[in-house]
């Protein structure tokens, strides 16, 4: 029976495929297809892991002390029974044979199937056996992980094989961390569904950067959807359709084809200069997470990188954080990849919905921190860890010797933080000079994402070369809303009058001071705001590479002088979004994205 599940639309488009359910604790399990020629070897790899784990259980039972409770020995017997059960190993082998999943993925897929069956059992004792099954699978996964040679061969297969079965696959999970999203960035999945999250949570942001449909905040989706269900993800409406009827399926396939045609038309604008009807040249920049993202940024027609989120180099590393050399090489690759275009690199912004696993200070890990968004994050964390901060700064200034680099400091809010940051920068510059290392000066910018910063702009304009408005956090802190919490996501409102007034005031003051100002939050890549931001005087937008063409299309059709005239009316309105739409309609500006005639 077909069912519908509603969530928050965070990445536009339609995805149709088979559901792959992944538990939060197993998101980092390798997920890739194997070459058909390696199916038999991969099944053997799984069976070998089973035998190894079985031997481990035999050894554990043999070495049990004589006074150990009999229940423990019985528990080991249960684990061995589960290990030999065809419902686990046999069915996992079928995933390898029929769908060409690698062994780890096949095990995880079958675990989700069996876990659902355990959950539905009426007998409490039997339901509790799910934990035993999970422990057995974890042992198998660890054993497979120790098989480094086979893992390397499988990774090679992943790079060489494009086998994907008969249908695309979509990922369904309770939650996906930012680090895990990066893990999946080059994966086989064509869409995402999560139970939790908000429109500007970093799971949503990375999904948009991947240009794949995604719905978050879908509450019970991971419980209602079963492994291998056919589902539709409607990224425009925030709708998931499970087991759709043939008529509905065909309708959405038609929409997919229309979307692909629209993208191909927009692609024609890639090399068209972003110049408004009245001759204003607009800078459209790209947001990236990793050095290799420089290539799609160039392909999108971006004029540079307006935000390199350096924290993604640190995530999922445990105790093995990148040292100065690793960071330097990563930043240099991004700089060289942009072929002379400017690259703005933000210093590490961890905390809140981007925790740094295993290496955050005790305050970040402590359970008493009820709201990490208000805790030790971004520049606060960097200043609390000066040795780490200096390593990153040295790497940044060294990378600047290979091309134009701008350094961006996140979440500054006070003169004390500004002074401490500048002291660290001057200290690093002296260190580099004294050590004889090659480095180059960088423009220094401040992110305006705390209301306190937006309300004391003259202070920031005196100390920094440029400003970058992070609208995601600015909205969050202005409206006192946790943007990663789906329970209050409906209150997250970029059209709120207070938000728009802070934006307009920041842009106006920066321009009056002759300082560069850009918007690097999600509003920059939303065509619904393009005309208004241009009217406010914004001339630099930074967004996901996939959004550049859509925003450029709007830019090409705008007369900024006419837009400037509507800004006071929008800012003074009780409902700015409706006022903006009415004013644009009266001026003949279309709100529906269409390809510019120049294309």
Asked which of 63-72, 204-213, 386-395 is least confident by mean pLDDT, the reply is 63-72
> Do 157 and 40 fall into the same domain?
yes
Residue 5 belongs to a domain with what CATH number? 3.50.30.10
In this predicted structure, the answer to whether residue 361 has a pLDDT above a threshold of 80 is no
Binding residues: 309, 346, 449, 472-473, 483
In this predicted structure, the answer to whether residue 248 has a pLDDT above a threshold of 80 is yes
Task: Look at residue 262 in the predicted model and tell me its pLDDT.
Answer: 87
Residue 321 lies in a domain: yes
Binding residues for Mg(2+): 449, 473
> Do 406 and 493 fall into the same domain?
yes
Q: 353, 317 in Cβ contact below 8 A?
A: no
Task: Look at residue 25 in the predicted model and tell me its pLDDT.
Answer: 53
Cβ-based neighbours of 326, under 8 Å, separated by 6 or more: 313
Residue 86 belongs to a domain with what CATH number? 1.10.274.10
Residue 591 lies in a domain: no
Show the domain range for 174: 1-28+166-269
> Do 79 and 140 fall into the same domain?
yes
Output 198 or 149, whichever has higher pLDDT: 198
> Do 313 and 361 fall into the same domain?
yes
Task: Look at residue 222 in the predicted model and tell me its pLDDT.
Answer: 86
Q: How far apart are the C-alpha atoms of 335 and 27, rounded to whole Å?
A: 31
pLDDT, tens only, 407-416: 999 999 999 9
Task: Look at residue 591 in the predicted model and tell me its pLDDT.
Answer: 39
Asked which of 188-202, 334-348, 417-431, 496-510 is least confident by mean pLDDT, the reply is 188-202
Q: How far apart are the C-alpha atoms of 76 and 545, rounded to whole Å?
A: 52
In angstroms, what CA-CA distances link 445 with 133, 409, 418, 519?
Answer: 52, 6, 11, 12
pLDDT level of residue 223 (50, 70, 90 thresholds): confident
Write down the H helix ranges in 267-353.
Answer: 294-299, 324-337
> Do 380 and 406 fall into the same domain?
yes
Task: Look at residue 264 in the predicted model and tell me its pLDDT.
Answer: 85
Task: Look at residue 211 in the predicted model and tell me its pLDDT.
Answer: 77
Task: Look at residue 121 in the predicted model and tell me its pLDDT.
Answer: 83
Residue where one domain finishes, among candidates 163, 186, 218: 163
pLDDT level of residue 372 (50, 70, 90 thresholds): low
Binding residues for phosphoenolpyruvate: 309, 346, 472-473, 483
> Do 378 and 524 fall into the same domain?
yes
**Residues pairing with 408 in the sheet:** 346, 445
Residue 218 lies in a domain: yes
What b/e string do you get for 131-156 counting C-beta neighbours within 10 Å, with b at 16 or more?
eebbebbebbbebbeebeebbebbee
Q: What percent of the chain has pLDDT over 90?
A: 55
Place of tokens 């422990």: 135
Residue 504 lies in a domain: yes
Q: 310, 399 in Cβ contact below 8 A?
A: no
Task: Look at residue 164 in the predicted model and tell me its pLDDT.
Answer: 42
* Count of the separate structural domains present in the chain: 3
The catalytic residue positions are 202, 520
Claim: this prediction has a pTM higher than 0.85: no
pLDDT, tens only, 76-128: 888 888 889 899 999 999 999 998 899 998 998 898 888 888 878 877 767 77
In this predicted structure, the answer to whether residue 565 has a pLDDT above a threshold of 90 is yes
């Amino acid at each position: 029976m077909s069912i519908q599940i509603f969530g928050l639309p965070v990445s536009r488009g339609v995805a149709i495929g088979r559901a792959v359910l992944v538990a939060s604790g197993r998101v980092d399990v390798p997920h890739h297809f194997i070459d058909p020629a390696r199916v038999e070897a991969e099944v053997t790899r799984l069976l070998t892991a089973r035998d190894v784990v079985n031997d481990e259980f035999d050894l554990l039972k043999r070495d049990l002390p004589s006074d150990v409770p009999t229940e423990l020995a019985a528990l080991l017997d249960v684990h061995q029974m589960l290990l030999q059960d065809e419902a686990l190993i046999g069915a996992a082998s079928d995933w390898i044979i029929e769908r060409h999943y690698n062994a780890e993925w096949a095990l995880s897929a079958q675990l989700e199937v069996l876990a659902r069956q355990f959950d539905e059992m009426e007998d409490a004792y039997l339901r509790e056996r799910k934990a035993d099954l999970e422990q057995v699978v974890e042992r198998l996964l660890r054993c497979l992980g120790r098989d480094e040679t086979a893992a390397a061969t499988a990774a090679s297969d992943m790079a060489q094989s494009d086998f994907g079965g008969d249908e695309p696959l979509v990922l369904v999970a309770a939650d996906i961390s930012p680090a895990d999203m990066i893990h999946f960035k080059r994966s086989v999945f064509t869409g995402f569904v999560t139970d939790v999250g908000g429109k500007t949570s970093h799971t949503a942001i990375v999904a948009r950067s991947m240009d794949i449909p995604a719905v978050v905040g879908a509450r019970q989706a991971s419980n209602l959807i079963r492994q291998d269900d056919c589902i539709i993800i409607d990224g425009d409406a925030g709708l998931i359709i499970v087991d759709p009827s043939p008529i509905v399926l065909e309708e959405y396939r038609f929409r997919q084809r229309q979307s692909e045609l629209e993208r191909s038309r927009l692609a024609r604008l890639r090399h068209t200069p972003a110049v408004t009807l009245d001759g204003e040249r607009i800078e459209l920049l790209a947001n990236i997470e990793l050095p290799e993202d420089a290539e799609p940024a160039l392909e999108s027609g971006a004029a540079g990188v307006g935000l390199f989120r350096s924290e993604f180099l640190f995530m999922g590393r445990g105790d093995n954080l990148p040292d100065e050399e690793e960071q330097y090489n990563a930043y240099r690759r991004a700089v060289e990849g942009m072929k002379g275009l400017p690259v703005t690199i933000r210093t590490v912004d961890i905390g809140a919905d981007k925790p740094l696993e295993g290496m955050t200070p005790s305050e970040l890990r402590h359970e008493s921190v009820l709201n990490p968004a208000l805790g030790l994050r971004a520049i606060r964390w960097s200043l609390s860890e000066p040795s780490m901060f200096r390593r990153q700064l040295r790497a940044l200034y060294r990378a600047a010797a290979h091309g134009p680099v701008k350094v961006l400091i996140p979440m500054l809010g006070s003169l004390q933080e500004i002074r401490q940051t500048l002291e660290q920068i001057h200290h690093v510059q002296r260190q580099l000079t004294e050590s004889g290392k090659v480095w180059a000066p960088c423009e220094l910018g401040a992110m305006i994402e705390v209301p306190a910063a937006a309300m004391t702009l003259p202070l920031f304009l005196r100390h920094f070369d440029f400003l970058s408005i992070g609208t995601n956090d600015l909205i969050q802190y202005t409206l006192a809303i946790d943007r990663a919490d789906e329970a209050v996501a409906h209150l997250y409102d970029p059209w709120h009058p207070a938000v728009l007034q802070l934006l307009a005031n920041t842009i106006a003051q920066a321009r009056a001071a002759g300082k560069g100002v850009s918007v690097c939050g999600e509003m920059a890549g939303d065509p619904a705001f393009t005309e208004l931001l241009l009217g406010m005087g914004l001339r630099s937008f930074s967004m996901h590479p996939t959004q550049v063409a859509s925003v450029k299309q709007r830019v090409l059709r705008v007369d900024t002088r006419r837009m400037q005239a509507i800004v006071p009316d929008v800012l003074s309105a009780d409902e700015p979004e409706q006022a903006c739409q009415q004013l644009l309609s009266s001026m003949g500006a279309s709100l529906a994205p269409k390809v510019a005639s120049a294309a």
